[in-house]
Amino acid sequence: MGILDFLTGEFIDVIHWTDDTRDTMVWRFEREGHEIKYGAKLTVRTGQAAVFVHEGQLADVFTPGLYMLETNNLPIMTTLKYWDHGFKSPFKSEIYYVNTTRFSDLKWGTKNPIMIRDPEFGPTRLRAYGTYTVKVTDPAKFLTEIVGTDGEFTMDEISYQLRNIIVQEFSRVIAQSGIPVLDMAANTADLGKLVATAIAPTLEEYGISVPELYIENISLPPAVEEALDTRTSRGITGDLSAHMQYATAEAMRAGGDAGGAMGAGLGVGMGMAMATQMAQQTGPWGARPAAAAPPPPPVEHVWHIADEGKTKGPYSKAKLGRMAADGDLNRDTYVWTQGQDGWQRAEDVRELAQLFTVMPPPPPGA
């Protein structure tokens, strides 16, 4: 190899990175066997950031643009200046490219059900899943806290940790929200924002953020969903008698052979009897008829009596009974009460005639 070929391999003029993987977050510029030339061009494209590490320490972060590596703060990395080290420079500098675009369509979900206290169903369990996006907001912090010296860091290496953070905060938010299970579908957008806000401080320490977090579905355990479907079906049927007739008709249609027909016939009889009994107990619309109101108490009459052309009273029936016992009221005494057509003798009024049956009437001819 000639001296010109050696110099060509020793110097690198252009430093750049073109990503075609869609999942690489950090890529280290390979420089094995050669050094970075003083005055080399560093190209940082839109959606990228370049982190310059010199002698193991973070030196600078370059945003999108074209740079000349020729300042005094950047090392002159050519082995031509270090013959005494056998063409091996004692200074080691590296450039890490960080993808600052959004990584979308990332999945998250609850591995195990989440226990909550629902205001309608009581203690119950929930499962949820959705998608989220990730964006590197601080390349230097992300490189220091997460990547380290990894030469090619992909999204898969951090997605598991992010899912754990999301699920933990989702469990806390959903338990403290107090939103009934039946209303959660109408509040998934708000719940997603609450979870994204809750995880923001933790992710900020990693130098990343979650610009979007979506909750696609919140589901109950299969047994609870089946019970909920049964409850919904019962509410839709309305008339239980008509529903029982429909159910028995379906049973008859399903029974094809003789055994099925016999079973269906038995089911029809039992179903009709049950439907009739339930209809009698609950009424045609499933509501138990109200108990009949007791009759009003009878109105007690008060009476007036005619005595020597004068009206006396009013007297209660009990008072008239005592007057009859004392002889102040006899069968021929004229009495009147409200609603009675004119004066009548006491013995002609059925309600008062019984007052004179306690004592025998005077004997004939007396």
Number of Cβ atoms within 10 Å of the Cβ of 42: 19
Q: Mean pLDDT over residues 206-225, rounded?
A: 89
Residue 289, preceding bond cis, omega within 30 degrees? no
Measure Cα distances from 192 to 104, 160, 163, 205, 221 in Å.
15, 19, 14, 21, 21
Fold of 302-356: Dna Ligase; domain 1 (3.30.1490)
With 60 as the cut, is the pLDDT of residue 1 above it? no
- Region of poorest pLDDT, from 167-176, 239-248, 274-283, 289-298: 274-283
Q: Mean pLDDT over residues 76-105, rounded?
A: 62
Q: Say how far apart CA 184 and CA 103 lie, in whole Å.
A: 27
CA neighbor of 197 nearest in space, from 180, 176, 217, 212: 212
Q: Mean pLDDT over residues 151-157, rounded?
A: 89
With 90 as the cut, is the pLDDT of residue 131 above it? yes
Please report the sign of the dihedral spanned by the C-alpha atoms of residue 10, residue 16, residue 20, residue 26: positive
Q: Where are the domains of the chain?
A: 3-99, 103-224, 238-282, 302-356
- Region of poorest pLDDT, from 118-122, 184-188, 227-231: 227-231
Q: Domain 103-224, CATH 3.30.479.30 — does that match?
A: yes
**What mean pLDDT is reported for the chain?**
77
Q: What's the chain's length in residues?
A: 366
Q: Say how far apart CA 66 and CA 108 lie, in whole Å.
A: 38
Q: Say how far apart CA 250 and CA 80 lie, in whole Å.
A: 94
Q: What is the pLDDT of residue 83?
A: 35
Reported as a single tens digit per residue, the pLDDT across 87-96 is 344 446 788 9
| Residues near 226 by beta carbon (within 8 Å), at least 6 away in sequence | none
With 70 as the cut, is the pLDDT of residue 314 above it? yes
Q: What is the pLDDT of residue 13?
A: 66
With 90 as the cut, is the pLDDT of residue 49 above it? yes
Q: What is the pLDDT of residue 239?
A: 59
